[in-house]
């Protein structure tokens, strides 16, 4: 086989595996083997740039940076949809249709996905470009970003029209959205509000490698073009599936408005089981010829209609507004409500987000407010029932001082939130920071939990994490629920944390925006906390993956005398504030990019050592098996459920000795 043939056959093979994995959700190869094939293709492509293909599966990881998105005129306009809210609305619509066309009318019912609309143009089976809806006439060219979304085929399968546009929605499934938010909270960033805005924001990120990291999906629902080779909407969906697109299965062909309503009622209940957000149903005249006859109004097709699900809503009394102080000092106002049933749960609280939100809706204590559960996880107040406002009601004045430490709050330019600036003297901030310090992913201190930390701070025994290291058994014994044994465990656990490697200490000390990954990057690059403390912003941003915001936050952290003193103390107590010499000598890239799970009991090395080995060689240790796992290192007494999971997902299982000999 020539090199070119080899490259092409690898590309075909990898495309097929991507399709099986992402579109069909049915992988037929282990991730490990997939990665090996991908790496082979990568090195062949590097050695033979003459066979470059902009649609190669190797380009899925992104890396292209777009500063300004080009404006592109849509060949076929992207219309909006008319909305209906009742059976009567739908019957009226049917009447209008029947006036314009003769014969029987059938409808397809589809779910209305709540994401960011996108138009993909394909020519000769290849993705030519991807454009946002924009104003409907023209949008932004976001091809580089869209290419990183694995459900978007770069090369079509089977037979396909020569050139066409296909429209769909970029969505962010709940699971991925929640995971992104967990990671943001961990580094002290505000969580994203809802999946839709996050999905549409993702399309306009400048660095496509960032987009590649987000678990976005592309769901398709409409093909537009000439000589398409099908006559109905329902057939077109089937055809799109055959070409390799992800088209949700929840679409139905029906013959009457009554049947449409059945579909709506069914999905109004069952949509809660779907992995992503939907906000209604879209009903389309099935025959393309009839669609043609009906045409468009200035705004929307006459042959389609959206039917919005009712957002679940109730009204209740706002009893009190309280203010929470987070670990980063951010203030969140909380509405304390008269408990009320909403979408199957009892709601007692709703987030008010920030001062602007309260002012905009003019929310006051004593008001009867409407609460809605939409795409957001926490219910929100959407309006006030002014007719029920008590005469004596007064506008809400936002707090000016921290409810915990009475320090005057600040609000920085461009920030929606107020902050308590009393970094080292405000209890929830102190407690939150120490809780983060001892948490599993940080110092993982055995025998010490979050509640005990709060007790220790409130009793005045500690005021920052370095104080943990001078605690004595005698001091902690009088604490609530503390016995001889537990006090001993606590002190031992704290002492043991002195062995925790530098990069985790760096994560644990809680520099804003420095998460686990960033901490590892910084540790690897600078090798000691002293070097990091001396780095300038310019120097920091030159490190791979360190952006301006992180750099500023690092510099700010180390410019505080108090922080410097605390870190200095950690050093005197014997914590690892630099990479160990052994570590420096042992680091390689052998396992770069691989995600590995370890399970069971090991003979020649301890579990911790094994994990360290993996990380020192550039691999990533993850705690649970998923389809993203490259392989599982299995020791003795591994749980049977882990094995079954690995087997069903096709994750390679290797023994301790195999792994160690492979590494050497």
Q: By Cβ distance, which residue is nearest to ligand AMP? A: 117
Inter-residue contact 321 to 365 (CB < 8 Å): yes
Binding mask 70-99 for ligand AMP (x = CB under 6 A): ----------xx------------------
Residues contacting 591, CB < 8 A, separation 6+: 614, 617, 618, 619, 663
CB of 123 to ligand AMP, least distance (A): 23
Asked whether the CA dihedral 568, 570, 571, 577 is positive or negative, the reply is: negative
Binding mask 274-313 for ligand AMP (x = CB under 6 A): --------x-----------------------x-------
Inter-residue contact 237 to 251 (CB < 8 Å): yes
Inter-residue contact 233 to 185 (CB < 8 Å): no
CB of 77 to ligand AMP, least distance (A): 11
CB of 386 to ligand AMP, least distance (A): 28
User: Taking CB under 6 A as the rule, does residue 476 contact ligand AMP?
Assistant: no
Q: Which does 433 bind (CB under 5 to 8 A by kind): Zn ion, ligand AMP, none?
A: none
Going by C-alpha positions, the residue among 190, 146, 185, 189 that lies closest to residue 169 is 146
Taking CB under 6 A as the binding criterion, the range among 112-120, 178-186, 426-434, 485-493 that sits at the site for ligand AMP is 112-120
CB of 117 to ligand AMP, least distance (A): 3
Q: Which does 422 bind (CB under 5 to 8 A by kind): ligand AMP, Zn ion, none?
A: Zn ion
User: Taking CB under 5 A as the rule, does residue 264 contact Zn ion?
Assistant: no
Q: Which does 203 bind (CB under 5 to 8 A by kind): Zn ion, ligand AMP, none?
A: none
Query: Of the listed 6, 37, 95, 112, which one is catalytic?
Result: 112
Going by C-alpha positions, the residue among 423, 622, 405, 407 that lies closest to residue 511 is 423
Q: Which does 15 bind (CB under 5 to 8 A by kind): ligand AMP, Zn ion, none?
A: none
* Residue numbers 196-225 binding ligand AMP by CB under 6 A: 221-222
Q: What is the number of H-type helices and E-type strands within the chain?
A: 25, 20
DSSP SS3 for 225: coil
Q: How many residues bind ligand AMP (CB under 6 A)?
A: 12
Query: Any idea of the CA torsion for 193, 199, 205, 209, to the nearest 10 degrees?
Result: 110
Nearer to Zn ion, 422 or 629 (CB): 422
Two tokens, residue 128: 């030519």
Q: How much is the CA Rg of the chain, to the nearest whole Å? A: 29
Nearer to Zn ion, 430 or 653 (CB): 430
* Residue numbers 617-656 binding ligand AMP by CB under 6 A: none
CB of 300 to ligand AMP, least distance (A): 7
Q: Which does 404 bind (CB under 5 to 8 A by kind): ligand AMP, Zn ion, none?
A: Zn ion
Query: How many residues are listed for the chain in this entry?
Result: 664
User: Taking CB under 6 A as the rule, does residue 117 contact ligand AMP?
Assistant: yes
Q: Give CA separation, 129 vs 50, 58, 155, 480, in Å.
A: 22, 18, 12, 64
CB of 407 to Zn ion, least distance (A): 5
Inter-residue contact 111 to 268 (CB < 8 Å): no
Nearer to ligand AMP, 221 or 303 (CB): 221
Helices 3-18 and 31-47, packing angle to 10 deg = 140
Q: Which does 420 bind (CB under 5 to 8 A by kind): ligand AMP, Zn ion, none?
A: Zn ion
* Residue numbers 477-496 binding Zn ion by CB under 5 A: none
Q: Site for ligand AMP (CB under 6 A): which residue of 19, 113, 469, 631?
A: 113
Q: Is there a catalytic annotation at residue 112? A: yes
CB of 222 to ligand AMP, least distance (A): 6
Q: Which does 181 bind (CB under 5 to 8 A by kind): ligand AMP, Zn ion, none?
A: none
User: Taking CB under 5 A as the rule, does residue 462 contact Zn ion?
Assistant: no
Inter-residue contact 331 to 323 (CB < 8 Å): yes
User: Taking CB under 5 A as the rule, does residue 404 contact Zn ion?
Assistant: yes
Nearer to Zn ion, 8 or 463 (CB): 463
Inter-residue contact 381 to 371 (CB < 8 Å): yes
Q: Are strands 83-84 and 163-171 parallel, antiparallel or unpaired?
A: unpaired
CB of 133 to ligand AMP, least distance (A): 6
Going by C-alpha positions, the residue among 512, 523, 659 that lies closest to residue 578 is 523
Q: Site for Zn ion (CB under 5 A): which residue of 172, 180, 358, 420?
A: 420
User: Taking CB under 6 A as the rule, does residue 253 contact ligand AMP?
Assistant: no
Q: How far apart are CA 140 and CA 132, in angstroms?
A: 5
Taking CB under 6 A as the binding criterion, the range among 110-118, 287-295, 535-543, 624-632 that sits at the site for ligand AMP is 110-118
Two tokens, residue 554: 């690092």
User: Taking CB under 5 A as the rule, does residue 402 contact Zn ion?
Assistant: yes
Q: What is the DSSP string of 120-166?
A: EEEETTEEEEEEE-TTSSEEEB-HHHHTT-TTS-SB--S---SEEEE
Q: How far apart are CA 447 and CA 455, in angstroms?
A: 14
* Residue numbers 130-159 binding ligand AMP by CB under 6 A: 133
Q: Site for ligand AMP (CB under 6 A): which residue of 94, 110, 277, 615?
A: 110
Taking CB under 6 A as the binding criterion, the range among 91-99, 109-117, 229-237, 256-264 that sits at the site for ligand AMP is 109-117
Going by C-alpha positions, the residue among 428, 409, 402 that lies closest to residue 328 is 428
Q: Which does 80 bind (CB under 5 to 8 A by kind): ligand AMP, Zn ion, none?
A: ligand AMP
Two tokens, residue 308: 């919005």
CB of 64 to ligand AMP, least distance (A): 25
Q: How far apart are CA 36 and CA 56, in angstroms?
A: 16
Inter-residue contact 555 to 514 (CB < 8 Å): no
User: Taking CB under 6 A as the rule, does residue 169 contact ligand AMP?
Assistant: yes
Going by C-alpha positions, the residue among 110, 363, 154 that lies closest to residue 251 is 110
Inter-residue contact 350 to 357 (CB < 8 Å): no
118 CB burial (10 A radius; 0-12, 13-18, 19+): buried
* Residue numbers 498-537 binding ligand AMP by CB under 6 A: none
Q: Site for Zn ion (CB under 5 A): which residue of 143, 278, 422, 464?
A: 422
Q: How many residues bind Zn ion (CB under 5 A)?
A: 7
Two tokens, residue 422: 């009393």
- What share of residues in the chain are helix, strand, coil (percent, to 5)? 40, 20, 40
Active site residues: 112
Contacting positions for Zn ion (CB under 5 A): 402, 404-405, 407, 420, 422, 426
Contacting positions for ligand AMP (CB under 6 A): 80-81, 110, 112-113, 117, 133, 169, 221-222, 282, 306
């Amino acid at each position: 086989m020539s090199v070119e043939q080899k490259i092409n056959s690898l590309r075909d093979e990898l495309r097929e595996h991507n399709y099986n994995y992402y579109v069909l959700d049915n992988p037929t190869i282990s991730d490990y083997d997939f990665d090996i094939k991908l790496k082979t293709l990568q090195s062949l492509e590097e050695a033979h740039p003459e066979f470059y293909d902009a649609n190669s599966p190797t380009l899925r990881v992104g890396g292209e940076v777009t500063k300004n998105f080009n404006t592109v005129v849509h060949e076929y306009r992207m219309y909006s949809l008319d909305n209906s809210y009742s059976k009567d609305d739908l019957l009226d619509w049917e009447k209008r249709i029947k006036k314009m066309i003769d014969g029987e009318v059938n409808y397809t019912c589809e779910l209305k996905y709540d994401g960011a609309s996108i138009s993909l143009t394909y020519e000769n089976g290849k993705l030519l470009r991807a454009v946002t809806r924009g104003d409907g006439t023209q949008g932004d060219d976001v091809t580089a970003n869209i290419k990183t979304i694995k459900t978007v085929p770069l090369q079509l399968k089977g037979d396909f029209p020569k050139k066409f546009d296909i429209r769909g929605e970029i969505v962010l499934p709940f699971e991925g959205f929640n995971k992104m938010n967990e990671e943001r909270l961990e580094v002290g960033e505000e969580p994203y509000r809802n999946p839709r805005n996050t999905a549409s924001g993702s399309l306009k990120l400048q660095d496509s490698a960032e987009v590649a990291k987000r678990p976005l999906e592309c769901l398709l629902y409409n093909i537009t073009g000439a000589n398409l080779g099908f006559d109905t909407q329902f057939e077109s969906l089937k055809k799109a599936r055959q070409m390799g697109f992800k088209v949700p299965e929840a679409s139905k062909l029906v013959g009457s408005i009554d049947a449409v309503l059945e579909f709506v009622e069914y999905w109004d209940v069952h949509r809660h089981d779907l992995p992503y957000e939907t906000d209604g149903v879209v009903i389309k005249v099935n025959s393309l010829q009839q669609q043609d006859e009906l045409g468009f109004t200035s705004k929307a097709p006459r042959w389609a209609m959206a039917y919005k699900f009712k957002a679940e809503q109730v009204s209740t009394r706002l009893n009190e507004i309280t203010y929470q102080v987070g670990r980063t000092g951010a203030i969140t106002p909380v509405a304390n409500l008269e408990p009320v049933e909403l979408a199957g749960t009892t709601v007692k609280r709703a987030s008010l987000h920030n001062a602007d939100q309260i002012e905009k809706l003019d929310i006051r204590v004593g008001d009867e407010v409407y609460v809605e559960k939409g795409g957001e996880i926490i219910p929100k107040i959407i309006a006030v029932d002014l007719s029920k406002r008590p005469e004596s009601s007064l506008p809400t004045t936002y707090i000016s001082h921290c409810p915990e430490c009475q320090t005057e709050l600040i609000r920085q330019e461009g920030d929606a939130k107020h902050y308590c600036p009393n970094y080292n003297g405000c209890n929830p901030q102190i407690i939150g920071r120490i809780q983060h310090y001892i948490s599993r992913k940080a110092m993982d201190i055995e025998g010490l939990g979050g509640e005990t930390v709060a007790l220790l701070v409130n009793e005045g025994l500690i005021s920052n994490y370095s104080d943990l290291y001078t605690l004595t058994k005698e001091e902690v014994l009088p604490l609530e629920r503390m016995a001889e044994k537990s006090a001993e465990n606590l002190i031992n656990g704290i002492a043991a944390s002195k062995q925790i490697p530098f990069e985790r200490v760096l994560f644990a000390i809680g520099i804003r925006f420095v998460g686990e990954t960033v901490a590892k990057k910084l540790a690897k690059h600078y090798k000691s906390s002293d070097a990091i403390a001396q780095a300038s912003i310019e120097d920091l941003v030159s490190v791979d993956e360190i952006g301006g915001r992180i750099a500023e936050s690092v510099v700010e952290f180390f410019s505080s005398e108090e922080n410097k003193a605390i870190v200095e103390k950690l050093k005197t107590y014997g914590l690892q504030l630099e990479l160990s010499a052994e570590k420096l000598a042992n680091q390689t890239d052998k396992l770069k990019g691989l995600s590995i799970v370890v399970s069971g009991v090991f003979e020649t090395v301890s579990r911790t050592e094994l994990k360290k080995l993996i990380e020192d060689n550039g691999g990533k240790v993850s705690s649970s098996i998923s389809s993203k796992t490259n392989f599982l290192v299995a020791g003795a007494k591994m749980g049977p459920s882990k094995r079954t999971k690995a087997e069903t997902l096709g994750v390679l299982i290797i023994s301790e000795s195999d792994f160690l000999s492979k590494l050497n």
